[in-house]
Amino acid sequence: MNMHSFRKYFSLLLLLTVPVLAWLSGCRKMEQYKFSTELAIDSRTVRVAADAKSTRLIVYANGGWTMEPLGQGEWFTLRNSSGDGKGEVLVDLTNNAANLPRAVKLLVKAGSKTDTISLQQRGLTPTINITDVTANSIANGGTIKTPITTNVPLSLMNVTYRYITEGQVDWLSDLKIENGFLFMKVAGNPTAAARSGVLKLEYLDALGTITRDSITINQQLRLDYSNAVNKDLSYIKTALPAGEITEDIYIEGIVISDKGNPNLAKNLNDPANKHALLKTENTLAVYVQSIDGTNGVYIKTKTGGDNIFNFNEHVKIWLKGATLEKYSNPNYVIVKNIESLNIMEKTEGTGILQPREKFMNELIDNDLFTYIKLKSVEFSIPTGAFTNINEGYTARMDCYPASIRDINGSSMYLLMNLDVKYRRDGKQVPQGSGDITGVLVHEEMDRYGGNIGKYSIRPLKREDIALNESRSAGFSNVLVEWNKFRTELSTGATEASNPLSPEIGSGKLWRSGKTALDFTTNGIYASTDYNALIQDPTGAKGSVTNGGWGSKNWWNTTTNKGEYWGIELSTAGITTPISLQLEGNSDPGGPRNFVVEWSESNDDNGVWHTAGTFTFEDVANWTNTLLTQVAGYKAVNIDFPVEASGLNKLVIRVRMANKTVGSATANTGGAYVASAGCRLGYISVKYNK
């Protein structure tokens, strides 16, 4: 082997030998530094989902080790609590989706070493939301309240008071949370100056997240009311001019509203953004009736914090500096800009405040804003929920008027805001009759035609709607009812038999200008059951496949008259007046104004008597929702004279009265559109037993 070959061979040998030597050296080092510990854990914080059923905890040790919880709890179970060397503990967990986050410390021991693991489980997101930014108290003090939304018990909160006014401390106490309200006691102010403090509620959850909110409490200074003269509500309504009240006067009465109740007043859309709803009106609303309950006044406080009025409180309210608004037809007043310093005195009422009982036809303007029980009442259309409206629109509209009628044939609307929790309680509205108690109000609602009647009623709680559940326990009987629109074509229906057979009773239903079997334009369509009680053939709830009936081409250009829905039935043997109940809506450009007529003959040229008129509002359009559009149906009740009873054949027609229709921008001023549909969701004819 020459020298060149030797060098080449030696170099190759080195290349092969060095890695082997390095590997041998590494093995000696790995052996020298092999991982060894008396105790180690994978993580000191283990956080799992609310619905997690189990988790594993890893422990490292040279020898034996144990694990034990530092606290009790039924929500976790350690399947094993010890091991030797590297091992794991399997922990079983219960579902925590309905609870606040929780945690437990687990102590791990091995030899002389200890460590801890924080096992955390997610849950509800903690919430502390005090509705009012400020709460005001009169100088005399007393208990005040403000609405609060929280899922954290007060006992778990850190409560602190910061007194802003120098030298004034410890005048806030007795904090409690009950029925969605935060209550606190305010001591009387012994000084002549106003004072303020801040209450802060704070909660540190098991995950280390802090949730907090605060409210400023202002206690007004003592004013000199010694020269104020007591005036009754009649004086306020008749003698005082509209505008700022300059007289040094006060009123005395009983509060019939309750701060924080979600069903006090109609909230308004933001003038700058018509698609946004402002909920200040309900926050400011206060109703005060005279001591004898025969007269009432609507008061609007300056801010939500100034509304410190509670149901059945006896109050004296100083009116100087407030603003008086006066209205006619009906006659009522609103006193605005009342502050807490206007409250001269308020004391809790003694005993249960009883409403005055009246039939609808006995109501007068002085009854407005008083506590009233309407006698012998029923829902005109006893289906669905208390609020039959598409709640996808709740950011834009706030109230649903449900038609109610009484034993004397009078009707009005029950008003319910969409923040009322029992508006959809999983039950159908009561079908029988009874009494309804609440505050009598006058409100106009553009979405339902503007003027919805002289009087309406706002119940304050579910118990105020004291109606029998069963239809048999009511004052009325149903002659004929279409709650679903069954074509029954599979049974061989003919034009003469009319495929739209009613669910209750006997009668015929058709649309003029069309054959009875013509459902080619609109026709039968699906509607919504807003309480999700009705199950369709597929098993889904909330949709009624045959819940509505609609039609197009409502203006007859040949006769230059509107077409109509026709109803034929018999009222033979009935001696009491009958009434017609409808619910429906129209497309923009479709029929809006209707006249209800009746005759003993279906001859269009015969003698027709007018029973009443009404409007169906345009159905809401999501991309351009007008303040005059309704996201659902409008309910209507029409009473007939007794002459329509006792007839072998009665024909009712609900006729398009004129071509005044809505448009994409307004409820009037639109051009009639033949392809615009009008639809019904319910029809019935009733009489008193």
Q: What are the tokens at 228? A: 């104020």
Q: Which of 232, 210, 7 is nearest to 127 (CA)?
A: 210
Q: What are the tokens at 590? A: 């479709």
For residues 304 and 260, give the distance between their C-alpha atoms in angstroms, rounded to a whole number.
9
Q: Classify the phi-psi angles of 522: left when phi > 0, otherwise alpha if psi is within -120 to 50, otherwise beta.
A: left
For residues 530 and 43, give the distance between their C-alpha atoms in angstroms, rounded to a whole number.
49
Give per-residue pLDDT as tens, 624-680.
889 999 999 999 999 999 999 999 999 999 999 999 999 888 888 899 999 999 999
pLDDT value of residue 500? 78
Residue 214 has pLDDT above 60, yes or no: yes
Give per-residue pLDDT as tens, 307-364.
999 999 999 999 999 999 999 999 999 999 999 999 999 998 888 999 999 999 999 9
CATH of domain 128-219: 2.60.40.10
**What is the gyration radius of the CA atoms in the chain, in angstroms?**
36
- Please state, rounded to an integer, the average pLDDT across all residues of the chain: 90
Banded pLDDT at 1 (limits 50, 70, 90):
low
For residues 160 and 105, give the distance between their C-alpha atoms in angstroms, rounded to a whole number.
28
pLDDT value of residue 405? 98
Mean pLDDT of 268-297: 92
In sequence order, what are the residues at sequence separation of 6 or more whose Cβ sits closer than 8 angstroms to the Cβ of residue 394? Answer: 277, 418
**How is domain 40-121 classified at the architecture level of CATH?**
Sandwich (2.60)
Q: Which of 631, 589, 597 is nearest to 614 (CA)?
A: 597
Return the beta strands (E) in 308-418 as ranges.
313-318, 323-327, 332-338, 343-348, 356-358, 371-379, 399-406, 411-417
Mean pLDDT of 88-103: 96
Give per-residue pLDDT as tens, 99-157.
999 999 999 999 999 999 999 999 999 999 999 999 999 998 888 999 999 999 999 99
Backbone angles phi, psi at 233, to 5 degrees: -70, -30
Q: Which of 364, 292, 302, 355 is nearest to 332 (CA)?
A: 364
Q: Which residue's structure tokens are 């953004």?
A: 273
Burial of 435 (0-12, 13-18, 19+ CB in 10 A): middle
Q: Which residue's structure tokens are 């009950």?
A: 178
CATH of domain 244-348: 2.40.50
Q: How many CB atoms lie within 10 A of CB 466?
A: 15
Give per-residue pLDDT as tens, 517-527.
666 656 777 78
For residues 508 and 494, give the distance between their C-alpha atoms in angstroms, rounded to a whole number.
12
DSSP assigned state of 367:
G
DSSP SS3 for 419: coil
Beta strands 629-630 and 504-505, pairing class? unpaired
Give per-residue pLDDT as tens, 15-63.
444 444 444 444 444 444 455 789 999 899 999 999 999 999 999 999 9
Q: Which pTM was predicted?
A: 0.85
Mean pLDDT of 407-428: 93
Banded pLDDT at 498 (limits 50, 70, 90):
low
Is the sign of the CA dihedral 480, 484, 490, 493 positive or negative?
Answer: positive
CA distances to 284, 450, 626 from 274, in Å: 21, 17, 8
Top-confidence residue, 342 or 530: 342
Check if 40-121 and 128-219 are the same fold. Answer: yes
pLDDT value of residue 23? 45
Give per-residue pLDDT as tens, 560-609.
999 999 999 999 999 999 999 999 999 999 999 999 999 999 888 889 99
Backbone angles phi, psi at 318, to 5 degrees: -80, 130
Backbone angles phi, psi at 548, to 5 degrees: -145, 160
Residue 261 has pLDDT above 80, yes or no: yes
pLDDT value of residue 519? 64
**How is domain 356-473 classified at the architecture level of CATH?**
Beta Barrel (2.40)
Q: DSSP letters of 560-627?
A: TEE-EEEEEE--TT--SPEEEEEEEEE-TTS--EEEEEEESS--TTS--EEEEEEE-PEEP-GGG--T
Give per-residue pLDDT as tens, 59-80.
999 999 999 999 888 999 999 9
Q: Could you tell me the end-to-end alpha-carbon distance of the chain, in angstroms, rounded to an integer?
A: 130
Mean pLDDT of 174-198: 93
Q: What is the third-level CATH fold of 477-688?
A: Jelly Rolls (2.60.120)
* Contact present, 106 and 119 (Cβ < 8 Å): yes
In the chain, where are the structural domains located?
40-121, 128-219, 244-348, 356-473, 477-688
For residues 518 and 656, give the distance between their C-alpha atoms in angstroms, rounded to a whole number.
19
